[in-house]
Amino acid sequence: MNRLARVLASAAALMLAGCSSVPLTSIPPLARIDARTTDLSMLRVAVQLPDVLRPRSGGVKLDVVTKVAGEAETKTSFAMMEMSDPRDRAGLPAPPQGSSTYAYRLSPGDAARFEALRASMVEQGRQGKRGSMGLGVAAREFCRANAAPQGSLPVTIYLMTSETKSFVPVVRDFDLLGDPAMAGGLESIQPCGQ
């Protein structure tokens, strides 16, 4: 798979529920990301949500999709840890009124798991097996806060790597209520604290 196809496949994985598109202005910086060499200590994810929703602990994931020639594609998920230091949010735009932004990084344990996965892919490459890696971000588990219901629930997801050096929007203002399947699922979201 060539680099552009990998980036487009990664961009597809980055889309929330496969229902929105990566902003066109984000494609060039995202194309510079190389999952095989990116500095994991700089890897950050941010999720902007309306105040009626909050991500649950462990609910924001980094998915790494690997494909080795002649083998089935594999997806490995890594739970992201929330960061509370305001410096970790530097460069993120201020959320609109009625929204909040949550920032995340890999835990040391998951960074080590990711490194092991990369080392395995590099070793397979040395053995002559062609392969590819792609990154995906998903906010999958939410809880409902005690906030007034809204007519729309726009979600924005950002990614920062050593290649982008700043947060890049991967999904911008995807309305969870705009997709019937997702809107129906929102009714079953438990209140926060349960």
Residue 194: its pLDDT value, please?
Answer: 64
Q: With bands split at pLDDT 50, 70 and 90, how would you rate the model's confidence at 10?
A: very low
Residue 19 pLDDT greater than 80, yes or no: no
Q: What is the mean pLDDT of residues 71-97?
A: 89
Residue 9: its pLDDT value, please?
Answer: 36
44-50 and 154-160 as β-strands: parallel, antiparallel, unpaired? antiparallel
Phi, psi (deg, nearest 5) at residue 81: -95, 135
Residue 3: its pLDDT value, please?
Answer: 35
Residue 82: its pLDDT value, please?
Answer: 92
Domain ranges for the chain: 3-186
* pLDDT tens, residue by residue, 145-162: 876 567 888 889 899 999
Q: Give percent above pLDDT 90 in the chain.
A: 24
Q: Is the pTM of this model over 0.95?
A: no
* pLDDT tens, residue by residue, 109-140: 999 999 999 899 888 888 888 888 887 877 77
3-class DSSP state of 93: coil
* pLDDT tens, residue by residue, 29-49: 888 888 778 898 899 999 998
The set of long-range contacts for 144-150, using a CB threshold of 8 Å and a minimum separation of 24, is 144/52, 144/53, 144/189, 144/190, 144/191, 144/192, 145/51, 145/52, 145/53, 145/54, 145/191, 145/192, 146/191, 146/192, 147/50, 147/51, 147/52, 147/98, 148/52, 149/52, 150/50, 150/52, 150/98
